[in-house]
Structure 1
Amino acid sequence: MLSERERNALEQIERDLSADTGFAAAMAGSRRHREQRWRPTWTVGLFVTGSMVTILCAVLGSVPPCGVIR
């Protein structure tokens, strides 16, 4: 995590750059994303894992665990 001084410096830079680039909004969004990084990662991981299992069971219907799921 950033110290208070570093955070203030970053916010000042973001304000300076935001006038014509929209950079501050992007940086603020990415910082929020970093602070909450584990939540979307777990959500996406679970979704991808479930999708892979579903696709594998549809393609390889003879695999024993897939028979239990169906």
Structure 2
Amino acid sequence: MLKSPVLPRDLPLFSDDLDLLSGVLDDVCKDRGLERNTSAAETIGALLIQLYRQGVRDRSKLAALAKAYL
């Protein structure tokens, strides 16, 4: 039996989750004129994953928070 709690950051991301996050990243990169293969896009992607694991699941909220980060 597990004695330590399972935290949201430890849960796997499934294909539906990744599809949503990838779409948001595409939108944010397009809006900011960034290529997906840049370090800035990678940073935004990591931020989106962190926000998603903290419970932000709404596409528009994720995009707004990522755009505010830039």
| TM value normalised by structure 1 | 0.31
Q: Which structure is higher in RCO with an 8 Å CA cutoff and minimum separation 6?
A: 2
Query: Which structure has the larger Rg over C-alpha atoms?
Result: 1
| TM value normalised by structure 2 | 0.31
Structure ranking higher in helix proportion: 1
